[in-house]
A and B are shown apart, each in its own frame.
Chain A
């Protein structure tokens, strides 16, 4: 099973993402903030796709993406998808510059999220 790491400080959001992805046959790991996410993705080399919230305490999503870009993890095949609210073009632009593959606007549509992760994991 492909492993997906969901990094979001909102338990509700993590819960929602987990539900969708588990239903789609993925193994889901959760992290509650950027630092937690960095630690978990560093420890677990099997993580294929990372779903990343932008606004988080202790290292936000963009910083985390930048860190993963810098340490070469993205180049090693980790696909990062940002979760964000609509309209923050500059944040998205930064995330993309840091190597994020795409971004999904909250509130997301479950089937589209699943389709996106499937495409990224393929």
Chain B
């Protein structure tokens, strides 16, 4: 069209043009609508033929002439209807036709009511709005104008004395113009809001589709998965593609619990249960949502779940947006941080107490090897090893290892053997990585160092200077390779204090007295390793929290004594606490549960050291599996020792480990010198 070729007219003109000229494309709906309207219009105008003829006959204004005139007018729209392709063009022909019909009507209806016949023009002009095209109305208005102009310019003015007052003509023109404007406006609105609606909807739909595509592009390219569930936890079909990758896709209408359940049955069950709280309405919604699973490990990946409730006006939960994030790398980072911290702890230990750490490390290596090489060979042994490794690791600051051991124990307790294998593999990886680092830190690994105090050095020097017996000097030197029990107990004391803090038992007092005794490090390695269980028991089960102690009239600080001494030809290691004492009734119950007889005090004491008997109600990382004391008993027996337990309810417990002197101390001198 010319308007597209010409430079854009500005402002009002442009707006008028845009109002009058419809957008060039025809929707299918408009096509169908106009086809129908044009057909109706053709019928309508053909209907004028008998009417006008009859009117002319009645009015005595020449029915034949009227019929001929009407037919001549009908020729145009009939040909246009049959031959023009554009329905809008046909409509415009009808606009012209309508005005001509008006002319015929006024002519054949001449007489006293001729003026009334002019109503036809106004009503038919309004009816043309049905074509939803302002151009049709403009065509009609233009037709009227052209006819008047023709009259004005072509009629011989010399002959005619155009007497109609000018104001009458102007009033008529004004009415036509007003109606034309209004009808154009109506037609355009009709087009925009009804006829063109489909096109609008199409455009809007296309726009929305585009926006959806953009949205999807975003959704599919973030590292988070988005899905929504309705009030029944059913998943909607819209979701990020990555969800399919992670969870293997789903059918719309499935619940999120089912989706999770396919990946991990336990997790699915947990979610389903948590969801019940969301829907049953007993708990506050906020709490119920807070208790939905937040993290999960599916295979090698770790996921975090975030929930955004979408409520309606009444605060009812309408939808829930679930944001799933793959936090595998974050978890890996946290683990690597934990490993880093472990290495730091190791480093600190090596600096402070190289010997003690070495000993722990040698044993830990042994335990790890024993549990990891063939765990299925003897599950109870594996369980024990893991438990000891857990306890020792915790004491030496290897928190990640301790946690991993705890995870294995959890799986073992639930008889989840595939889970156990997974966790064991994890432990193995961690342990291997850690031990490589430790070996590196230790440098000349396995080389035992001899440490001595200045006092000991002076003693040996004096003996040499004084010309003491060679055997005496040799014995002093051998003793140097032995470990002072006080040093060992000192380490335990330190660990015990730390443990008490962790278990909220307050700042306990630990007294250490080695009485200058020494023990052979290697022979007692096993015993010392299991000895930590005794300490843990004393602190976890024995010593009460400060508040409780005060209630029982005890000093708020718990007290633990670690001593070694010689008594009656025996070497005694003693642990004494002032806690609540052993709950023998609970031991009896547990023992009976395990099928042990627990009638006499002797049997009860036996039961206390049996695997599987623990009086702790809560299983924690620290103690409670009834494995620890059994390990102590084993290692004690191995050295030919005996255990003595005295416990007074409410007052405390004394545990003594007694070894014949032949098993300890000086003996190795002889053997070693002979060797």
**Which A residues form the contact surface with B (CB < 8 A)?**
9-12, 15, 55-57, 79, 81, 86-87, 89-90, 92-93, 96, 101-105, 109, 112-113, 115-116, 119-120
What 0/1 readout, one digit per residue, does chain B (494-512) give for beta carbons within 8 Å of chain A? Answer: 0000000000100000000
Which of B283, B288, B291, B586 has its CB near the most chain A CB atoms (within 10 A)? Answer: B283
Q: How far is the CB of B33 from chain A (nearest CB, A)?
A: 59
Return A104 CB to nearest CB of chain B, in Å: 7
What CA separation (Å) do A96 and B548 show in the bound complex? 33
How far, in whole Å, are A96 and B269 apart by their CA atoms in the complex?
14
A contact residues around B159 at 8 Å (CB): none
Chain A proximity of B143: nearest CB distance (Å)? 78
Q: How far is the CA of A85 from the CA of B115 in the complex (A)?
A: 95
User: By the criterion CB–CB under 8 Å, are A102 and B283 in contact?
Assistant: yes
Query: CB of B5 within 8 A of chain A?
Result: no
Whole-angstrom CA separation of A87 from B270 in the bound complex = 6
Q: Which positions 54-113 of chain B face chain A at CB distance < 8 Å?
A: none
State A101–B288 Cα separation when bound (angstroms). Answer: 12
CB <8 Å contact, A57 and B287: no
* Chain A positions within 8 Å of B548 at CB level: 11
Pull 16 A–B residue pairs with CB atoms less than 8 Å apart, ordered by A: A11-B548, A15-B547, A55-B617, A86-B270, A89-B269, A89-B273, A96-B276, A102-B282, A103-B291, A104-B283, A104-B287, A105-B291, A115-B286, A116-B283, A119-B282, A120-B282
Q: Known contacts being A11-B547, A87-B270, A89-B270, is A112 close to B286, with CB within 8 Å?
A: yes
Cβ distance A4 to chain B, nearest Cβ, rounded Å: 15
Are B287 and A116 in contact, with the CB atoms below 8 A? yes
Whether B439 is near chain A, meaning CB under 8 Å from some CB there, is no
Judge whether B50 is part of the interface by a CB distance below 8 angstroms: no
Chain B residues with CB under 8 A of A109: 287, 290
Q: Is B277 located at the chain interface by the 8 A CB criterion?
A: yes
Interface residue SS majority, chain B: helix
* Most chain B Cβ neighbours within 10 Å, of A15, A90, A102: A102
**A residues less than 8 Å from B280 (CB atoms):** 102
With A87-B270, A92-B273, A120-B282 known to touch, is A12 a contact of B287 (CB < 8 Å)? no
Q: Which residues 495-540 in B have Cβ within 8 Å of A in the complex?
A: 504
B284 contact set on A, CB distance < 8 A: 112, 115-116, 119
Task: Please judge, given known A-B contacts A12-B504, A104-B291, A109-B290, whether A119 and B270 are in contact too, CB under 8 Å.
Answer: no
Residues of B within 8 A of A87 (CB): 266, 270
- Specify which of B269, B284, B618 lies most central, judged by the most chain A CB atoms within 10 Å of its CB: B284
Q: Does B641 contact A (CB under 8 A)?
A: no
Q: How far is the CA of A79 from the CA of B284 in the complex (A)?
A: 14
Smallest beta-carbon distance A28→chain B, Å: 16
CA gap between A64 and B40 in the complex, in Å:
84
Q: Which residues of B contact A90 (CB under 8 A)?
A: 269
Apart from A87-B270, A102-B283, 7 more pairs, CB < 8 Å: A9-B618, A10-B618, A86-B270, A92-B273, A101-B283, A116-B284, A119-B282
Interchain CB contact under 8 A, B277 and A102: yes
A103 surroundings in chain B (CB, below 8 A): 277, 291
Q: Inside 8 A of A55's CB, which chain B residues have their CB?
A: 617-618
Q: Which residues of A contact B269 (CB under 8 A)?
A: 89-90
The residues of B that contact A15 with a CB separation of less than 8 Å are: 547
Q: Which residues of B contact A (CB under 8 A)?
A: 266, 269-270, 273, 276-277, 280, 282-284, 286-288, 290-291, 293, 504, 545, 547-548, 586, 617-618
Contacts of B287 in A (CB 8 A): 104, 109, 112-113, 115-116
Q: Is the CB of B273 within 8 A of A93?
A: yes
Given A9-B617, A11-B547, A87-B266: A119 touches B283 (CB 8 Å cut-off): yes
Min CB gap A107→B, angstroms: 12
- Are B266 and A89 interface neighbours, CB within 8 A? yes
Least CB distance, B506 to chain A, in whole angstroms = 12
Query: Once the chains are docked, how many angstroms separate the CA of A111 from the CA of B99?
Result: 81
CA gap between A105 and B266 in the complex, in Å: 16
CA distance A54 to B367 in the complex (A): 34
Closest CB in chain B relative to A17 CB, distance in Å: 14
CB distance from A58 to the nearest CB of B (A): 9
Query: Smallest Cβ distance from A14 to chain B, in angstroms?
Result: 11
Q: Is the CB of A112 within 8 A of B282?
A: no
Q: Which residues of B contact A116 (CB under 8 A)?
A: 283-284, 287
Q: With a CB–CB cut-off of 8 A, which chain A residues contact B282?
A: 79, 101-102, 119-120
Contacts of A86 in B (CB 8 A): 270, 291, 293
Q: When chains A and B are docked, how far (Å) is the Cα of A112 from the Cα of B618? A: 24
CA–CA, A87 and B264, complex, Å: 12
B residues less than 8 Å from A105 (CB atoms): 291
Q: Measured between alpha carbons, how far is A103 from B270 in the docked complex, in Å?
A: 12
Given A56-B617, A89-B266, answer yes or no on A11-B283 (Cβ-Cβ < 8 Å): no
Who on chain B is nearest to A15 by CB? B547
In the complex, what residue of chain B is closest to A102 when comparing beta carbons? B283
Q: Which residues of A contact B286 (CB under 8 A)?
A: 112, 115
Most buried by A among B273, B290, B293: B273
Nearest to B291 among chain A residues (CB) is A105
Quick one: closest B residue to A108, CB to CB?
B287
Tell me the nearest residue of chain B to A55, going by C-beta.
B617
List chain A residues, Cβ under 8 A from B277: 102-103
Query: Which residues of B are found within 8 Å of A56, using beta-carbon distances?
Result: 617
What chain B residues lie within 8 Å of A120 (beta carbons)? 282
B595 CB, min distance to chain A CBs, angstroms: 20
Evaluate whether A112 and B276 lie within 8 angstroms (CB atoms) in the complex, with A87-B270, A89-B269 already known.
Answer: no
Residue of B nearest to A113 (CB): B287
Q: Which residue of B lies closest to A57 (CB)?
A: B617
State the Cβ distance, B532 to closest chain A Cβ, in Å.
24
Give the distance to chain B from A99, nearest Cβ to Cβ, in Å: 11
Closest 4 CB pairs of A and B: A102-B283, A101-B282, A112-B287, A115-B284
CB distance from B578 to the nearest CB of A (A): 18
Interface centre among B282, B504, B545, B548 (most CB of A within 10 A): B282
A57 to B615, CA, bound (A): 9
For B617, the chain A residues whose CB sits under 8 A away are 9, 55-57
Which residues of the partner chain B approach A96 to less than 8 Å between Cβ atoms?
273, 276
CB-CB under 8 A from B266, the residues of chain A are 87, 89
- In this complex, the member of A89, A115, A119 whose beta carbon has the largest number of chain B beta carbons within 10 angstroms is A89
